[in-house]
Chain A
Amino acid sequence: MTESVIGVARARVDAPDKVTGATRFAADGHVHGLLHARLVLSPEAHALIQRVERNAALAMPGVVAVLTADDLPLTGAGSDRTTEPLARTEVVFAGQPVALVVAENEAAAEDAVEAVVVQYEPLPAVVDVEDAMLPGRALARVVEEEAGGGDMESIHAGVDNGQEDGDEEQLSDNVLDTVHRSSGDATALLETSDVVVSGTFRTPWVYQAYIEPQVATAWLEPNETLVVSTSTQGSFVTQRELARAFGLPLERIRVVAEPLGGAFGGKLALMEPLAAGAALALRRPVRVVLTRAEDFQATNPASAQVTHLKLGARKDGTLTALTARMIVDRGSNAGWGVEGITTLLVAGPYRWKAHDIRGYGVQTNRFTFGAYRGPGAPTAAFALETLLDELAAELEVDPLELRLQNAVVEADVGVSGNPFPRMGAVEVLERIREHPLWKTRASLPADEGVGVAAGYWPGGTEPAAAVCRVNQDGTMTVVTSAVDMSGVNTGFAAIAAETFGLSPDQIRVVAADTATGPYSGASAGSKVTYTVGAAVLKAAEAAREKLLKAASEELEIAPADLEVVDGAVRAVGSPDHSITVAEISAKALRFGGRYEPIEGHGGSAQTRGAPSVAAHLAHVRVDQETGEVTLLAHVIAQDVGRALNPALVEGQMRGGVAQGIGWALFEELVHDESGQLLTSSFLDYAIPLADRVPDIDTLIVEVPAPDGPFGAKGIGEAPVIAAAPAIANAVAAAVGIRLRELPMTAPRVWAALEDAQA
């Protein structure tokens, strides 16, 4: 038998090209006759557009066009960023694209942007999300728009909104969506609980901070097919979104997803409508590349959120009930918000006897909300995991034991109303309990502390298909339309290799486009390996069947008595009786050949998600003089189902923790009272640089997912979720203060320390 390739660390298949600079990203492609577009962004947070003065810009050398919404062949329905890529009559956040200057080169376009004068009639800017909810408050959008549909939410987690109820809270029309999840009498149960803790938690808008700014290029083929080459997480969803925006049939749109320079949830159908609209209007190829400053202002970061949370427990440590009121700032996103997900995840991987959770999706004049790794999850976990620690302190029990005592096991019913599938909540907590950092936490130097926290991600599903094709030389090409985000192609290679009987080096994975590839959803929601991977497995099985059938004829041995080892088919128990995969394939792929091509198609339609859970330990030192928090060490234990490639799994765990450090200590997009963005560069927006990310101890826990390929489950989002509260709990352990707002910047920590002393 060949040695298994599952569970073996291997370099990413895309690594050599990326490291040597051979990868061609979306902005690198050479397109004949390409025009360059630059955006005119609104300086106003909320205003009506009165007039766009474009003559001065048009008179400048190299300028081809200055386009506004009316110039793009949009259907006109909808007011989301896909259907209204340029503001039509009303701007609803500072940084919203208002016009597009298209020129023969980028410099000319940039010169001309300054010459476009837009006259605005300012309207009151709605920036305080809690205030915006009150009846009678000014609205963040005043012009009524026809609804445009769209299916962005389902891309990420596809959760429902709990039950409808006739409960009549008085709210302004800025509240676009309400969610209510309840079971039992939570309020009564809290009243009779031995210990109750509560708090209001605030988290800011957070930027995905991918390396590659947003970019898309579009052109018309002579046969009128619109081709869009882009940096996106999903080709088919982009195709659908473009069809919706421009009222075109799907077959007239071909979306090519280029290698992705980072996305984290932020790259879905934002730039493509601009490039496509301009290309359709001008009938010439057009590229839109954002600068970093534009990317900060004009894209779709994670929502700010306010969470009011109350928890109770009995003296023996049993959690009783939780009540929550969660306010999600959607900015201008009328299509969807994270109120559905965050109200689900605020209960954490724990058992509750009763709950009453309300969520509100509220529009304001800030950005357009978009997804960011585990949308709605870190915000919920910060509130819950902080209060669980406070509960443990009140109960005088070990905070890790409190979590273990209440951790969900299979069949426990969650606040979604559905039973949890098997998930390693207990296992990951037990794993970190044994870690030396936890065991020795009592003997740390002054101003140091260790905190614990846990969080889970439900895991998404979407049907997908894949093709495995054996080439004449005996190598295999795996074709999917999944965008290779976080190394999924490397996982596909391992799955196909293991299933078919080749070594991963003999497998090439290619991403096809919407005109050529089998269906795949967007790379989002921690679902790609779980769903597309399962399709690859079936496709490899199907190809293997064809291989064995042909080999059986060649060797005159029944398929059941054959095995595939190291690129050859041989008789079980008689290895000399063999024929190579290349020999068989060569007999198939030729004029007058005898066998069907050794090629398999496979599909998957997972019906249940495979949640992944992670527990963290953070070790911090707090400089009491300056308030600076230094993360000294971090431990994460995550249930990954099955680590197809431990190197990649650990990479995801590290990356998630690093972004969690950003949530905890650094990242914050800030507006002033008039809705002006104060953080539109990396000079103002701090992210965890390499020197602020300590050694991260990654502990892989494997509780196989019943439906996942080789037991694998989606693992991308879980590791970011509880990193920030672990750090917050470590700060509390170190110096006794608890912050209710992220990030825990030095001035905030210092002020809290001063308050504690006063």
Chain B
Amino acid sequence: MIPAAVEHVRPETLDEALDALTDPEAKALAGGQSLLPVMKLRIVRPSVLVDIGRLGLGGVQLGDNELRLGALATWDTLESAPELKRPSLAALAGCAAEIGDLQVRNRGTLGGSLAHADPASDMPAVVLALGAEVVVRDARAERKLSAEKFFLGPFTTALAPGELITEVVFPLVEGSGSAYAKVEHPASGFALAGAAAHVTPDGKRSVAVTGVGAHPFLLPADADPLDALTEAEIYGDRFAPTEYRRHLAGVVVRRALDRARENMEKAA
């Protein structure tokens, strides 16, 4: 459990960091809660770690129409930020509170979780259901990716080499409600099945699931979510064989929708 030898740099500015990340063997280090474990197992061996902790990317900014969360916002920040204590954003704090333990929540970050793209991680479902955009930059340019286009497969995203997530932007919908529901893996605590739901006063709903397939995904808006799950490709293992996991996905989708509606009623 000792990682291979690695260099460590801690840039003070975003440009310096992006510059350091042009090295194809470099890896950004945020909270280290996913990266260091895989380095200790020597599954990943970067030549240099670019610590992005000093770039001031941890902010929570609530505007009139959107919420901007810095990539370095920790789970603890999301759980406790007063800006997020509103029914439409309840899924964010609710989900963050269910991640790991206190130590992990003090270190683990939103950007790190999205970039790592563990298919059983929780927050991606919320980012999808709330229709967020992921703001990414490399040494040359900045671009925005819809969450739906971001997750491509297990531990695989649309991030190009050298790109950093800087922010995640959530549109705000008046009077809506959201929630996250999860059945946790008995050992790891990650999602055996997790679902985030967002419902709006005009009757629209958006539901995303995680932990059940190669990557988290949105359920089609026009079909019954439970029907959609019977069609979906669901992953099976010893902790949740396919049939059981499909069933669990249905359970958490229903629970998330019920709670999102309750939250919406609170908003009214």
Contacts and interface: CB of A to CB of B under 8 A. Distances in A.
Interface of A: 106-107, 110-111, 114, 291-293, 625-628, 665-666, 670, 678, 682-687, 745-747, 750-751
Contacts of B41: 293
23 contacts: A106-B2, A107-B2, A110-B2, A111-B5, A114-B42, A292-B1, A626-B183, A627-B244, A665-B186, A682-B187, A683-B187, A684-B188, A685-B187, A686-B186, A686-B187, A687-B187, A745-B186, A746-B183, A746-B244, A747-B239, A747-B241, A747-B244, A750-B247
Given A682-B187, A751-B244, A291 B1 contact: yes
Contacts of B238: 670, 678
A106 B3 CA distance: 11
A627 B248 CA distance: 10
B191 to A, nearest CB: 13
Given A747-B241, A751-B244, A628 B183 contact: yes
A319 B188 CA distance: 44
Nearest to A748: B244
Interface in B223-268: 238-241, 244, 247-248, 251
Contacts of B4: 111
Contacts of B5: 107, 111
A750 B239 CA distance: 12
Contacts of B239: 745, 747
Contacts of B241: 747
Nearest to A684: B187
A627 B240 CA distance: 11
Interface string B1-40: 1101100000000000000000000000000000000000
Given A107-B2, A292-B1, A747-B241, A626 B251 contact: yes
A154 to B, nearest CB: 35
A750 B244 CA distance: 8
A750 B251 CA distance: 13
A673 to B, nearest CB: 13
Interface size class of B (residues with CB under 8 A): 10 to 19
Contacts of B251: 625-626
Contacts of A625: 251
Interface of B: 1-2, 4-5, 41-42, 183, 185-188, 238-241, 244, 247-248, 251
Contacts of B1: 291-293
A127 B231 CA distance: 36
A454 to B, nearest CB: 27
A664 to B, nearest CB: 12
A746 B187 CA distance: 12
B40 to A, nearest CB: 9
A106 B251 CA distance: 47
A448 B241 CA distance: 26
A683 B188 contact: yes
A628 B248 CA distance: 11
Contacts of B185: 686
A291 B244 CA distance: 34
A670 B239 CA distance: 11
A746 B2 CA distance: 35
A623 to B, nearest CB: 9
Contacts of A751: 244
A376 to B, nearest CB: 25
Contacts of A107: 2, 5
Contacts of B186: 665-666, 686, 745-746
A751 B241 CA distance: 10
A666 B247 CA distance: 21
Contacts of B188: 682-684
B138 to A, nearest CB: 32
A124 B185 CA distance: 33
B222 to A, nearest CB: 26
B15 to A, nearest CB: 33
A101 to B, nearest CB: 13
Contacts of A745: 186, 239
Nearest to B1: A291
B218 to A, nearest CB: 23
A670 B187 CA distance: 13
Contacts of A682: 187-188
A300 B207 CA distance: 46
Contacts of A111: 4-5
Nearest to B245: A747
Contacts of A683: 187-188
A745 B183 CA distance: 13
A90 to B, nearest CB: 28
A685 B238 CA distance: 12
Residue among A111, A293, A684, A685 facing the most chain B CB atoms (10 A cut-off): A684
A23 B221 CA distance: 59
B38 to A, nearest CB: 12
Contacts of B42: 114
A107 B42 CA distance: 12
Given A107-B2, A628-B183, A670-B238, 12 more contacts: A291-B1, A625-B251, A626-B248, A626-B251, A665-B186, A666-B187, A686-B186, A745-B186, A745-B239, A746-B183, A747-B240, A750-B247
A750 B240 CA distance: 11
B44 to A, nearest CB: 14
A114 B247 CA distance: 42
Contacts of A684: 187-188
**Residue among B4, B5, B42, B238 with the highest chain A CB neighbour number at 10 A:** B238
Contacts of A750: 244, 247
Nearest to A110: B2
7 smallest beta-carbon distances between A and B, as pairs: A686-B187, A686-B186, A291-B1, A683-B188, A747-B244, A110-B2, A107-B2
Nearest to A114: B42
Nearest to A625: B251
A678 B247 CA distance: 24
A745 B239 CA distance: 8
A626 B250 CA distance: 10
A106 B1 CA distance: 10
A110 B240 CA distance: 34
Nearest to B42: A114
B181 to A, nearest CB: 11
Contacts of B248: 626
A665, A746, A751: which has the most chain B beta carbons within 10 Å?
A: A746
Contacts of B2: 106-107, 110
Contacts of A628: 183
B212 to A, nearest CB: 14
A665 B187 CA distance: 11
B210 to A, nearest CB: 16
Nearest to A290: B1
Contacts of A670: 238
B25 to A, nearest CB: 18
Contacts of A627: 244
Nearest to A683: B188
A111 B188 CA distance: 28
A683 B184 CA distance: 12
